[in-house]
Amino acid sequence: MDMRTRVATALKEAMKAKDAERLSTLRLINAAIKDRDIALRGTEDEAKGCGDTDVLGILGRMVKQRQESARAYEEGGRLELAEKELGEIKVIEDFLPKQLSEDESAAAVDAAIAEVGATSIRDMGKVMGILKGKYTGQMDFGKVGPLVKDRLG
């Protein structure tokens, strides 16, 4: 089942269960996917639309935004808002694949470096391209970037 179908099914289930919090988060996910579809209009990617890889990227960004917001709310003493953001993260993460551990991420980086034949920092873009193609939604590329840089540096 593709990501769009999973989100649509979960949306219907949340409506039937009258789960307001889950429903609002699922609607935000749906809106973000539709925004991406609109952004693709007029490009050669319009025919295929927003695929699973795009949806995983959207969900990853949504989690990261909510983590930053929750942190800011906690620092500001607005714990009820931080809890709301953390609740949204849990709903979004239901659709994301399992995150790779640090050891698995390191192994994936090593494999990508070997696949590309990377020897210097100039090859970092190629390595990151391979990783993003294979592991979108499974690893935090903000943390993986420095790891790749260390391996190539």
Q: What is the pLDDT of residues 35-47, one digit of tens each?
A: 998 888 877 766 6
pTM of the model: 0.74
pLDDT for 108-139, tens place per residue?
998 988 888 888 889 888 989 888 888 877 88
Class of CATH domain 3-93: mainly alpha
Residues 138 and 95: their CA atoms lie apart, in Å, by 11
Supply 56's token pair: 């995983």
CATH number assigned to the domain with residue range 102-152, chosen from the 4 options 1.10.10.410, 1.10.240.10, 3.40.50.300, 3.40.190.10: 1.10.10.410
Mean pLDDT of 73-85: 95
What pLDDT, on the 0 to 100 scale, is given for residue 139? 83
Domain range list for the chain: 3-93, 102-152
Burial pattern 50-67, b for ≥16 Cβ within 10 A else e, equals: beeebbbbbbbebbeebe
User: pLDDT category, 22, cuts 50, 70, 90?
Assistant: very high
Mean pLDDT of 17-30: 94
Output the six-digit token pair for 133: 């193609």
- What pLDDT does 19 receive? 93
Which pLDDT score is estimated for 138? 82
Query: Other C-beta atoms within 10 Å of 95: how many?
Result: 18
pLDDT score recorded for residue 35 = 92
Looking at per-residue pLDDT, the higher value among 145 and 83 belongs to: 83
What mean pLDDT is reported for the chain?
Answer: 89
Nearest-angstrom CA–CA distance, 8 and 22: 12
